[in-house]
A and B are shown apart, each in its own frame.
Chain A
Amino acid sequence: MEVAVHSPKEIIARRVALEIRPGMLVNLGIGLPSMVANHIPHDAGVFFQAENGVIGLGARPPEGMEDPNLTDAGGGFVTAVPGAASIDSAMSFGLIRGGHLDMTVLGGLQVDARGHLANWMVPGHMVPGMGGAMDLVAGAKRVIVAMVHSARGEAKIVPECTLPLTAARRVSLIVTEMAVIEPTADGLVLRERGPGVSVEEIRAATAAELIVPAEPPEMTLA
């Protein structure tokens, strides 16, 4: 049998896609998280929110058919699906903070043993601002961190975040190309292994302690 070989980001996007259920309202962050939409069937009844003001985000329009008043939160041109709604920022963040957003998928710089996420600044290097990230992490029903497992050989899943936190709230799930990890009250639980990745390899690439159940399965991909 031929096995498809995916890039790390592709593995992450395909695995996160399986977390999304029909009828959900979902916010995807810029970059890697936005790739998740490519793996959701069009008839799944999933609505994607862009926090700049649209529920029902669609694909990029064909060249020449862009509307300067219709972009995603990264400023890229998008379309709106049938049934879409345009909203102002107060409504948009009301949905986010008010518990109406079923899921947010964001990138991460660090996640720690308590499940705390840091993803908005590196003091002295990068101070872009938090944008909507703090509201999304504080308010969404489920928070999924989609990130590569380590950066330039440095672990991103750490005992305690050294970077400023995005929220005090524990995130729901961490999905990397090596593992699916669930932060719980007891600590980080290894739920699934990446394609062809062993528990030992995951442990070696993870600075935080992992709780490992007997024989965690290999992840399936959308």
Chain B
Amino acid sequence: MKKAIRPEQAAEMIPDGAVVMIGGFMGVGTPERLIDALVARGVRGLTVIANDAALPGKGIGKLVSAHAIAKAIMSHIGLNPEFQKQMIAGEVEVELVPQGTLVERIRAGGVGLGGVLTATGLGTPVAEGKRVVEVGGESYLLETPLKAEFALIRAYQADYAGNLCYSLTAHNFNPVMALAGATVIAEPEVIVPIGVIPPDSVKTPGVLVHHLLARAA
């Protein structure tokens, strides 16, 4: 049985300078209450691994506006002008990764693989400094795994065993990140009694989830 915690308790666990994976795509499927709590506690120097920097005032965009991010590993930052400014000012270091490569690097980190071979990025600036591996006459880039100290997950339903299911396009990076964080904190929309989520509907088994966020008061 998991005991649900409050957002501020979760934020206390995450130290300044931590490496954090955060689910979401343009803020859809992002744990907003966890982010609000991190901003409220004044967190600094995070390395954030996420699909994108969202928009000002939404999801990861709130961490950007709070100057909480020192390094970002993301596929897209173009819809957040504040982040563009911070990058140009040298305030934040940004590693841009193709979206499909990003999710597979996270998956590799979470499932114990030593890397991923992909043709994505060949012949582009993404290939610079990377090993090219030939398999069956085809060339691939060797992309390395990504792991994090924390994975912050947004789910649709959770039960008190920690089992998670997701809604529509709010899946995105969440199920994959739940494998790659040393500590996984999930923010579900609702927590239901054990047994309510059918086993076939569980996308993230509860054994991966360390903490559940209690529902909003």
Residues of A within 8 A of B (CB): 50-54, 67-71, 73-75, 80, 86-90, 93, 96-97, 116, 126-135, 138-139, 164-169
Asked if A93 meets B168 with Cβ closer than 8 Å, knowing A127-B84, A129-B96, A130-B96, the reply is no
Asked if A132 meets B169 with Cβ closer than 8 Å, knowing A71-B28, A167-B124, the reply is no
Q: Is B26 an interface residue (CB 8 A)?
A: yes
A135 touches B100 (CB 8 A): yes
A134 touches B171 (CB 8 A): no
Residues of B within 8 A of A (CB): 25-29, 51-52, 55, 74-79, 84, 87, 96, 98-101, 103-104, 107, 118-126, 156, 166-176, 203
Chain B hits for A169, CB < 8 A: 123
Expressed in whole angstroms, the minimum distance between the Cβ of B200 and any Cβ of chain A is: 15
Separation of A71 and B171 alpha carbons in the complex (Å): 11
Q: Give the contacting residue for A131; candidates B55, B76, B174; CB below 8 A.
A: B76
Expressed in whole angstroms, the minimum distance between the Cβ of A34 and any Cβ of chain B is: 15
How many A-B pairs with Cβ below 8 Å? 146
Separation of A90 and B84 alpha carbons in the complex (Å): 27
Chain A hits for B156, CB < 8 A: 69
Chain B hits for A165, CB < 8 A: 123-124
A131 touches B75 (CB 8 A): yes
Given A69-B169, A88-B203, A90-B103, 16 additional A-B pairs, CB 8 A:
A52-B28, A53-B169, A53-B171, A54-B168, A69-B29, A70-B169, A88-B173, A116-B123, A128-B84, A129-B75, A129-B96, A132-B75, A138-B121, A138-B122, A164-B124, A167-B120
Asked if A93 meets B76 with Cβ closer than 8 Å, knowing A131-B52, A134-B121, A167-B124, the reply is no
B26 touches A89 (CB 8 A): no
Q: Give the contacting residue for B168; candidates A51, A80, A90, A130; CB below 8 A.
A: A80
Chain B hits for A88, CB < 8 A: 166, 171-176, 203
Asked if A129 meets B52 with Cβ closer than 8 Å, knowing A70-B168, A89-B173, the reply is yes
Asked if A50 meets B169 with Cβ closer than 8 Å, knowing A88-B174, A167-B124, the reply is yes
Expressed in whole angstroms, the minimum distance between the Cβ of B184 and any Cβ of chain A is: 15
Chain B hits for A135, CB < 8 A: 98-101, 120
Expressed in whole angstroms, the minimum distance between the Cβ of B69 and any Cβ of chain A is: 15
- Nearest first, the 6 closest Cβ-Cβ pairs linking A and B are A128-B78, A168-B123, A93-B100, A135-B100, A75-B26, A129-B76
Task: Give the nearest-CB partner of A168 in chain B.
Answer: B123
Asked if A132 meets B124 with Cβ closer than 8 Å, knowing A53-B171, A89-B171, A93-B104, the reply is no
Task: Give the nearest-CB partner of A76 in chain B.
Answer: B26
Expressed in whole angstroms, the minimum distance between the Cβ of B55 and any Cβ of chain A is: 8
